[in-house]
Structure 1
């Protein structure tokens, strides 16, 4: 009976939507496009062969798209790595959303495949299964003769012998614990600093012999992660073009009380506009005003993912260092131009009213982008109709999928590469000669440089150390210097004498790398060699934030000297938020005492530094009362489970929100206030800015939209009541009056029967 009622509701909504569209026809509507005619023109969403799919792609002049792999070699690819033989290791996720209900999503149909090009024509023609029977695998990383594979919730490492997995080792039992498929860690990017980083995660990993190190880092992104020539990380959330770090990734996460560190998780591209070449009504919130334009094309990112910073050396110089971002919902890839202003990274879209690549094929679903060993840019195309996960799937999109028969097939998938038109893309041949590998650290292709660095480290080629030391003296180009530094660091062969001259180099990019690697080489026996120079570098405005971060390490060797430098930074750069947050990153559980000392020197409590330190102190106070969680979980078991698997990925386990994703639930006026305003948020979602505790949260500080779960059949009215009662009593939240009941949820559904549109803050404020 419930399913019949739901179906009737969907039909009513869709009939109303089509009626609305008919009002947009040219008949007496001021010349607006005929929306019904537009819809009719895209009714056919049939599967195209790769050659036909390529013809549907509009690519930037001077470039062409080439097929690399297709079904049946692969199906539903989501991530890949090249090995040094030019083979592709691909993760496939065929069990993702088999239908709009996600039926069978927990079936073990995922694989890790090895693809080879046996005849050298650039197209993969051989495929073998490395691992199978996986449930929703999502990432992989080749390292030290083995492979990391993420299969939620665990992260596994396998040694590789004759292209077969042996010696399975559990690296992390909670790698992807909690959240749904779209909101779990992924990426496994082996970065220049020899650590492995992830999107949708605040953890990094490193292999040391037979042991795995796991450390806290900044929480970054949603799906996909990339680095530039300088080793800085870039990522995004689904509604934001590009986010990234101004500083190297291993710095600045030392104070767990500090929720936001300036210079990390920064909005790099503020413009989120998209320009599809086809109507895209099949997006989750396509029924909402402003999501689609008059031509039914997506106006702004709704599924931004899989970014790459192009440094392959095959494209013209104008494309070097550009950020490319995939948007599977709009069937396109965007190009952004990045520029450095000191240590700040800024950027803009490369074009207005067009994209680098956009397809007319609705099933073209680019989900990850990479630079390859030939310098080409590679595209993983999941090639399927359903891309939105069931957790947030709206009745509107369910109907779109049904009407245009987008559910099947599930066994497609392609990998393409983009090259200059008529260009000749050739892979580098690697061998095990340490000297050749050192020379490859100078290669114009960033993938080649990274691979050479990793091969030297994984093979423990200490014989390469003299050549690497010598490379540090050729400071006319920072790129080989940077790789030489981090390769020596990975070999545990870096010496103070290598770093000291570089700290004084006139080239800021070289100084930056030397400062970044310093915590790895500085110890109790040699810190005095660095201390006088660090004291001088306090006056270097570009180096100042790095000096602040390095004091985290200096404190354990000479606490008095470290504190003196921190006080100097505080005094000299009181108006600089980047230096302020670098200083604060050293002050875990000493924030209040440090503030008192600062005020003695400078009584002005309105400085940027003072304001940011007080914010951390306030956040500490908010986080103190969390002893009630276990009791609440026993009282509301289903609510606690839903919070852990669904809500905490954006709002944080402590309820204090996650930067770039969602505002706090802890001490939120919406959570503690009128239940008639709170229930609609969870059922139907919230869009636009929202004021919480007198602070207006808006993009890019948070994601622009929170989807509702009212149309998700997994959660009944009692479930939703439980999760609301759980958050209304968690942390520092205190709610007077009776608990929310399943009837309250049911009554709210009846009140807004037929509604799909998310609420705005202004609408909610009008509810009594």
Structure 2
């Protein structure tokens, strides 16, 4: 009874306390009691323009003009496009962009097929080819249908009954990452001359698997974080390659260089194919995608549109610390913050000096940036091409150039998503976002043709109707769409009638690019012969030799191919030598090792060449180390010592006894001068730093320099570690040495 009374008293006390506390709290009335400032007066809405008005708002480089190719209501929110063999455009519609930040639903994404039925150069018919897509971001034509990137999947969709709508819809791969803002997913599917699609995976990565694999055929997932994929469409197989960038990827005519862009850096170059590095698991490599724009994220832009009020307000609030985020130097615009859709112009309608130049959409600044490329060692530098004004800039704030396409007519098409807000709503402070409609413009969208003045439009050729032999001739066509489509159709058809004309083209075409494309098509038909490779390895055009080296890797067991490959380690062209350094990893034997040594002596000072050489060391680590140590000149150079140290580290990590024994023998052959003594110490440190078992083997050596070096290292390190006269850095180094030797 007493306990019950106590509990009642306690409960009553709690209730009274709760009433007293809550009675002191203010009533929840956001209209009258909120202390948050009202920014509505600073955030006026910007009205959209009609397609024709927006066209008039553009300022282009002298000699060029824009034309409307498609606009709402025919399309909405265009995100990506590809052309089939009949010149029809398949356009990704993405009304879902920023829909999560809006109260107005706009439906799911779709792929529309656009046709120009009257041949006037403007699409006039749209058919919904595929709908009910949850955030599609990429499309590519294949085998009478389309591949669709719609994270987490890659689909194949095809119309088999002729009604214009896909009745086949298969998921082939799954596992691609997704993000709420929708700006980092897979994108920009591109056909390559080696008969595969290049699939950039954006920032979201993923663990990719075949969607329809059984337990018996299931393979290990491919992690694509920071990597791209190569998709072979006939067998529907994939493998990882080097990647990077956010949204946009383009290849040059030769497919030797891939370009991507980041949000704030307009041009990155993919420096190597990651498949080469995968051969050597002990090789540490830098990221493949490197910035090649001299000013990088500090590249100044010449914007014509008024800065949106929300950008001005956000910068002010960030600068004051009222909301999180960088104030970006206190400037609301005029720099890259929305670089996207990087594309190499590869058409034939523009003046020839524009071929091979880069175009990047800057959606936040309503403009298109142009860069010209210059060789820089084995890489490139992308310089601003327009010093006084952007190639294309608009005064229309809604102009959002998200992607580009090299068109059948030889011009460049610009996909304008046309939105009031292109910033991901997830990145806007709530006190700003609540005054905006994040998805305004989801029902709009335009595609523009950028053409030189005097351009006369001609309807696209119906390449799908051509016999295979005529497709082969198109490899000499000056327009990329013709060449790429012909390449894809030849691989698609697998028509053996193409073999003879392809061999003829590879041997005699006056176009070096056509010669290379013929070789890859022969490979795709399983008809490439070693003799064709040998001829190409001796071609006067360096880019042909570069491709021939890649193709030679499949013929590494052929003596005549080997004999033609080895001299290219001493080629006059550095890019050829760079490829040779990678390719030699496919060839075994002392001659290949000596060729790598020759490359190390000539080009080892270049860090990218050094990477390529080390990728090819593979199982011949000990032999390659011995080869380098026998060259006194290499031992003297900083790059030679760095390469020797890298190989010693690989030997330590691999922990192969034969390599270890070879290492000890070579160490004993070094001279006793100060430089060689220092080098020997460095090599031992690199070797033993990798794992305890190596240290045990080394400390168990019965004699020679290795044992002497370890004893001296320990003695000197003990002295240095306890010497108060030494600097902190020197003492820390000594402690690390002791840890290594123990």
* TM-score (norm. length: structure 1): 0.69
Of residues 552, 561, 570, the one that matches 2:585 is: 552
Aligned partners of 1:224 and 1:235 also within 8 Å: yes
Partner of 2:604: 574
Distance 1:53 1:396, change over 3 A: farther
Quote the Cα distance in structure 2 between the aligned partners of 1:316 and 1:487. Answer: 29
Distance 1:254 1:437, change over 3 A: same
- Higher mean alpha-carbon deviation, 348-357 vs 579-588, is at 579-588
Aligned partners of 1:195 and 1:204 also within 8 Å: no
Partner of 1:583: 613
The yes-or-no answer on 1:416 pairing with 2:448 is: yes
Partner of 1:331: 366
Query: Following TM superposition, by how much is the alpha carbon of 1:428 offset from its aligned partner in structure 2, in angstroms?
Result: 2.8
Q: How does 1:378-389 map to 2 (within 5 A)?
A: 378-389=413-424
Distance 1:445 1:250, change over 3 A: farther
Q: How does 1:111-190 map to 2 (within 5 A)?
A: 111-161=110-160, 162=162, 163-176=164-177, 181-190=182-191
Query: Following TM superposition, by how much is the alpha carbon of 1:149 offset from its aligned partner in structure 2, in angstroms?
Result: 1.0
Partner of 1:514: 548
Structure 2: segments with no counterpart, 5+ residues: 1-26, 203-225, 320-325, 654-728, 730-742
Distance 1:305 1:390, change over 3 A: same
Aligned partners of 2:586 and 2:616 also within 8 Å: no
Distance 1:476 1:269, change over 3 A: farther
Of residues 314, 317, 320, the one that matches 2:349 is: 314
Partner of 1:536: 567
Aligned partners of 2:368 and 2:392 also within 8 Å: yes
The yes-or-no answer on 1:11 pairing with 2:11 is: no
Quote the Cα distance in structure 1 between the aligned partners of 2:29 and 2:457. Answer: 54
Quote the Cα distance in structure 2 between the aligned partners of 1:619 and 1:202. Answer: 24
Which SS does the other structure have where 1:187 is aligned? coil
1:195-224 C-alpha deviation (Å, 9 max, x unpaired): 222332513233363x22211211221101
1:347-394 C-alpha deviation (Å, 9 max, x unpaired): 311122310100111111110011100011101111112212234334
Partner of 1:745: none
Aligned partners of 2:362 and 2:400 also within 8 Å: yes
1:49-81 C-alpha deviation (Å, 9 max, x unpaired): 100000011111111111111112221111110
Distance 1:53 1:182, change over 3 A: same
Q: How many residues get paired?
A: 583
Quote the Cα distance in structure 1 between the aligned partners of 2:385 and 2:367. Answer: 14
Distance 1:616 1:568, change over 3 A: closer
Aligned partners of 2:315 and 2:332 also within 8 Å: no
Quote the Cα distance in structure 2 between the aligned partners of 1:2 and 1:369. Answer: 51
Which SS does the other structure have where 2:243 is aligned? strand
1:682-738 C-alpha deviation (Å, 9 max, x unpaired): xxxxxxxxxxxx9xxxxxxxxxxxxxxxxxxxxxxxxxxxxxxxxxxxxxxxxxxxx
Quote the Cα distance in structure 2 between the aligned partners of 1:350 and 1:9. Answer: 50
1:655-679 C-alpha deviation (Å, 9 max, x unpaired): xxxxxxxxxxxxxxxxxxxxxxxxx
Partner of 2:476: 442
- Higher mean alpha-carbon deviation, 468-477 vs 246-255, is at 246-255
Distance 1:89 1:606, change over 3 A: same
Which of the two has greater helix per residue?
Answer: 2
Q: How does 1:83-122 map to 2 (within 5 A)?
A: 83-98=84-99, 101=101, 109-122=108-121
Quote the Cα distance in structure 1 between the aligned partners of 2:540 and 2:500. Answer: 24
Of residues 274, 284, 290, the one that matches 2:301 is: 274
1:522-547 C-alpha deviation (Å, 9 max, x unpaired): 254x2x22222222221125222211
Query: Following TM superposition, by how much is the alpha carbon of 1:604 offset from its aligned partner in structure 2, in angstroms?
Result: 4.1
- Higher mean alpha-carbon deviation, 371-380 vs 458-467, is at 458-467
Which SS does the other structure have where 1:186 is aligned? coil
The yes-or-no answer on 1:501 pairing with 2:502 is: no
The yes-or-no answer on 1:351 pairing with 2:386 is: yes
The yes-or-no answer on 1:219 pairing with 2:243 is: yes
Which SS does the other structure have where 1:450 is aligned? helix
Of residues 507, 513, 531, the one that matches 1:473 is: 507
Distance 1:409 1:110, change over 3 A: same
Quote the Cα distance in structure 2 between the aligned partners of 1:267 and 1:3. Answer: 51
Which SS does the other structure have where 1:51 is aligned? helix
Quote the Cα distance in structure 2 between the aligned partners of 1:61 and 1:395. Answer: 43
Query: Following TM superposition, by how much is the alpha carbon of 1:550 offset from its aligned partner in structure 2, in angstroms?
Result: 1.0
Partner of 1:205: 230
Higher Cα radius of gyration: 2
Distance 1:456 1:394, change over 3 A: same
Quote the Cα distance in structure 2 between the aligned partners of 1:620 and 1:176. Answer: 37
Aligned partners of 2:157 and 2:168 also within 8 Å: yes
Partner of 2:10: none
1:94-138 C-alpha deviation (Å, 9 max, x unpaired): 111126x36689x96111111111111111111111111111111
The yes-or-no answer on 1:242 pairing with 2:267 is: yes
